[in-house]
Amino acid sequence: MPYVKVGEENSGDIEIYYEDLGAGQPVVLIHGFPLNGHSWEKQTAMLLDKGFRVIAYDRRGFGDSSQPSRGYDYDTFAEDLNKLMTTLDLTDAVLIGFSMGTGEVTRYLSTFGSERVSRAILIGAIPPFLLKTDDNPEGVDQSVFDDIKKAIASDRPSYFTTFFENFYNTDKLGGGILSKARITDEAVQMNWNIAVKASAIGTLKCVDTWLTDFRDDLPKIDVPTLIIHGDDDRILPFDSTAKRLPDSIKNSRLVVIEGGPHAIIWTHADEVNPEILKFLGQANEKMA
């Protein structure tokens, strides 16, 4: 199992687990909260089949990466990504972030630039700024995040049950394996199993990280960027997030998945994957 060392805490190393599969142009997949790199399975198979090299890693605190008590902020997450990029000496790479992973893509490009990156994809985006303030009326009230932190601290496994109901909109899209459902009970259970193994400290600290203000980062993105978002996203509401991004990212294009929940990389992979491939095929062209 390959790891890259990104730091130390007391007597132990902080290591990021990654998988490096296939050959060709590198595509780096950055997962969402509270999952791991395997959450990209419907995209990984497609990208490998199309001749891309696929690198998926687990964010610190999640999956098979180390679970330190610190570093759950986007400056550190971007530094972790940069360490992976430089260790593997990736060039002409595509960065694809989902949910929390879109923050890594944004902060990485703002901080480290695009020398190693040719394009970016933001799916279920967290930028530009999730918190409602006087100068950000489109955001979400602080009380919502306070309640989430209380729920996690009180009963983290129970919180995840409710979280995944809204992650997948199971009341609309769920059902048994033989139904026409877009998400099965078994797939939800698989994700719950992954989530409860994550760092309890990291899970709680990530809630504050969601409130990072990316408004100064976005204009620094200088690569073609595709934005994909579901219009029925209950985790990161469309009007507060992706709808606002084309005005801040030059040479970007927004694709809205009708009826899509937050986790469109699973429920609507049949619509998301063709958009990814179409974008990769026109990466060096200016988008209308």
Catalytic residues: 99, 233, 262
Summarize the chain as % helix, strand, coil (round to 5).
Answer: 40, 20, 35
Distance (Å, rounded) from C-alpha 253 to C-alpha 177?
34
Q: What are phi and psi of 149, to 5 degrees?
A: -65, -40
| Lateral strand order in the sheet of 252-257 | 3-9, 12-21, 53-57, 26-30, 93-98, 117-123, 225-230, 252-257
Distance (Å, rounded) from C-alpha 124 to C-alpha 268?
12
* 252-257 and 26-30 strand pairing: unpaired
DSSP reduced 3-state for 25:
coil
Q: Determine the straight-line distance between the first and last CA of the chain, rounded to whole angstroms.
A: 42
